[in-house]
Structure 1
Amino acid sequence: MGIISWLIVGALAGWLGSIIMGKNAQMGAIANIIVGIIGAFIGGFIAQSFGGSGVSGINLYSIAISVLGAVVLLFIVGLIQRKR
């Protein structure tokens, strides 16, 4: 996957993840892209742990895995922020 693909999938996954977790108003475009890209790595790791494949291009499966990872990342960040 090229850098443009990572940015597109990252932006879409980060945006959808922030909507699901109710943090859309707190995050900007750059934060959504970063959350989405990191979420793709997390989601790919989770999928491979259960025997699936990771993120592999711009398709519905990759976006779903990336959104899953973004939601997990935002959940963990929310837990850390609550403890402060």
Structure 2
Amino acid sequence: MNIIAWVILGLLAGALAKAVYPGHQSGGTISTIILGIVGAFIGGTLFTLIRTGTLQLTAATLSIPGLLVAVIGAIIAIYLWTLFQRSSRV
């Protein structure tokens, strides 16, 4: 998948995940794109692990099922990021 498709998928997945996830998340467009791209890798890897039973670093594709997997991965990434921010504040 080329970089333009990753940016588009990242923007869509990050924006949808921020809209679905409860609470306020800080960050602008760049952080949303990065969050979505990380979410695509998390979701794609988890989907591959569940489907095949092997752990491979894969990204979701720019399609409707790929977008759903990327949004789920981005929600996981938001959760992990909020946990990291809370522990670093203490």
- TM-score range for the pair, normalised by the shorter chain length: 0.7 to 0.9
User: Counterpart of 1:55?
Assistant: 60
Q: Deviations over 1:4-61 (max 9, x none)?
A: 110100000011111122335x2211000000001100001110111078512x2111
TM-score normalised by length of structure 1: 0.86
User: Counterpart of 1:7?
Assistant: 7
Gaps of 5+ in 2: 53-57
Q: 1:78: Cα distance to partner?
A: 0.9
Task: Tell me the number of residue pairs that the alignment of Structure 1 and Structure 2 aligns.
Answer: 82
Find runs of 4+ consecutive structure 1 residues off by over 4 angstroms. none
Gaps of 5+ in 1: none
**Higher Cα Rg: structure 1 or 2?**
2
Q: Distance in 1 between matches of 2:16 and 2:27?
A: 12
TM-score normalised by length of structure 2: 0.81
RMSD after superposition: 1.8
Does structure 1 retain, via aligned residues, the 8 Å contact 2:42–2:59?
A: no
